[in-house]
Amino acid sequence: MAKVALVQNLLTENLGLMYISSYLQRQGHDARIFIDVQGTNAFKDIESFAPQVIGFSCTTGMHHWALDFARRYKSQHAKVNIVLGGPHPTFYPQIIKDPVVDYICVGEGEEALSELVGVIDGGGDVSQIGNIWSKRDGEIIENPVRPLLQDLDSLPFPDRSYYDRYPITARETSKNFISGRGCAYKCNFCANHTLMGIYHDKGKYVRFRSKENVIEEIKQVKARYPVRFIGFSDDILIVNRKWLYPFLDLYKREINLPFLSTVRANLVDEELVAALKIAGCISCVFGVESGVEKIRNEVLAKGVKDEHIFEAARLFHKYRIRFGTYNMVGLPGETIEDAFQTVKINARIQPDFPWCSVLQPYPGTQIRKRIEADLGHQLPIDEIGASYFTTSVVRSKEIRQLENLQKLFHLAVKFPFIQPIVRQLIKLPPNFLFQWTFNACYAWQLMVRSRINFFKLIQYGLASQRLFKKRASTQVGPVGDEPSPAS
């Protein structure tokens, strides 16, 4: 039996790590989740646990923290094995070149990490494990991905037990679940199409758990925790109506709690919205991304027309289901006027939660390739921060105004009469007033839509402030300058 520490740096349940933990435990290993945030002492807790393996699931930007933690720990415990998984090593496997990283996991991790841990514990050859990249005598050993797990019901339910040690997560009254894996769409700002390519001919890509399996997990969680709200973290919960409608009927009968869901505007019609309402849906979110239809569909490959957005909004208003929108600024070729079209379409449809981020050209995305082709050089990887609510690594003459607009987006949508004032304010240099305005709007959205408690909001706000200060101190060049090519 091996000891495995799974480390995260957010005070919220991480479904990926929870699935890994429960799978490892079923194989007989001692896997535990640790949270490394201010107010905890994950380093000392992990030292007391004395694991053979420390695993991190990290997105691009979050990898800075993972590498730093691994370096500090390995400097005192040289024999520990460091494994990185999640989106960043999947789409930027070159991270294995970092001396502190022993292994990376590309793609889904339950079976791969279980096999790796078993070999580390019992001895043997780690060089032939599907999904796992390793090193030997300075050589990087790349293994292809194994077939996708098709029977999701065969997985043990995610392990939530270790979050009970942290007061904020222990008191959380909303719990998140996932009903399937894989997204059928290929938006250019998402790396999903790249993941499809990695798993080409490796089994059905979009998979669903049985409705009974999902309901049973919710029942068990509901019996153990004071759950008041359910969140579904699927990319798009509504994509398969043949599965969805029987599930909603069973959910209403067996669970009957308010729930939150992701949707896609071009899939929304009155039959669907009515079914969601009857089942207990109180809030949905869908992507607008850009208010300019040509940018949305030609640049972002979203495949959603303005008419889809207007109709979806009309139906959610009709059935009194609150809804939010995802939006972005800093898109290739986007002007200030284009960005204000995004503000205006949101003001027209009146979402309860207008959400806006700054485009981050993540590894594995087509949008990154397009931007690099336009610039004539590679974009930096390590300058992408952990938050998409701060700044862009792509510099242009208008980017700072677009970054400022992102901070004031919520107010400009909710109070359209101030849009002329916002147009003038965004010409000012970035400042803490804009950042704190965004923090306040973001906190309100989390508190109202996602039922995040006040203490967690404070933690998010402090983390956001630290990110802003860090990014401001390391910003690449003045306005209009281009970053140096990535090494």
The residue ranges of DSSP E strands in 330-476, in sequence order, are: 353-358
Residues ≥6 apart with Cβ < 8 Å to 123: none
Cα→Cα distances 420→82, 358, 405, 423, 424, Å: 52, 21, 12, 5, 7
Model pLDDT, residue 472: 41
Helix (H, G, I), strand (E, B) or coil at 386: coil
Nearest to residue 462, comparing CAs of 441, 482, 483, 436? 436
Mean pLDDT computed over every residue of the chain: 90
Between strands 30-35 and 3-8, the pairing is: parallel
Q: Is the dihedral of CA 454, 460, 466, 468 positive or negative?
A: negative
Better-predicted residue by pLDDT, 386 or 479: 386
Q: How far apart are CA 354 and CA 236, in angstroms?
A: 18
Residue 59 pLDDT level (bands cut at 50, 70, 90): very high
Residue 450 pLDDT level (bands cut at 50, 70, 90): low
Model pLDDT, residue 466: 45
Q: How far apart are CA 461 and CA 456, in angstroms?
A: 9
Residue 138 pLDDT level (bands cut at 50, 70, 90): confident
pLDDT in tens, 166-214: 887 888 889 999 999 999 999 999 999 999 999 999 999 999 999 999 9
Better-predicted residue by pLDDT, 7 or 389: 7
- Residues, the chain, total? 487
Nearest to residue 87, comparing CAs of 65, 99, 104, 67? 104
Q: How far apart are CA 403 and CA 416, in angstroms?
A: 19
Q: Which domains does the chain have, with CATH numbers?
A: 3-141 (3.40.50.280), 171-473 (3.80.30.20)
Is the model's pLDDT at 256 over the cut of 60?
yes
pLDDT in tens, 386-437: 778 788 888 888 999 999 999 999 999 999 999 999 999 999 999 999 999 9
Q: How far apart are CA 88 and CA 108, in angstroms?
A: 13
For the segment 34-53, the average pLDDT, to the nearest whole number, is: 94
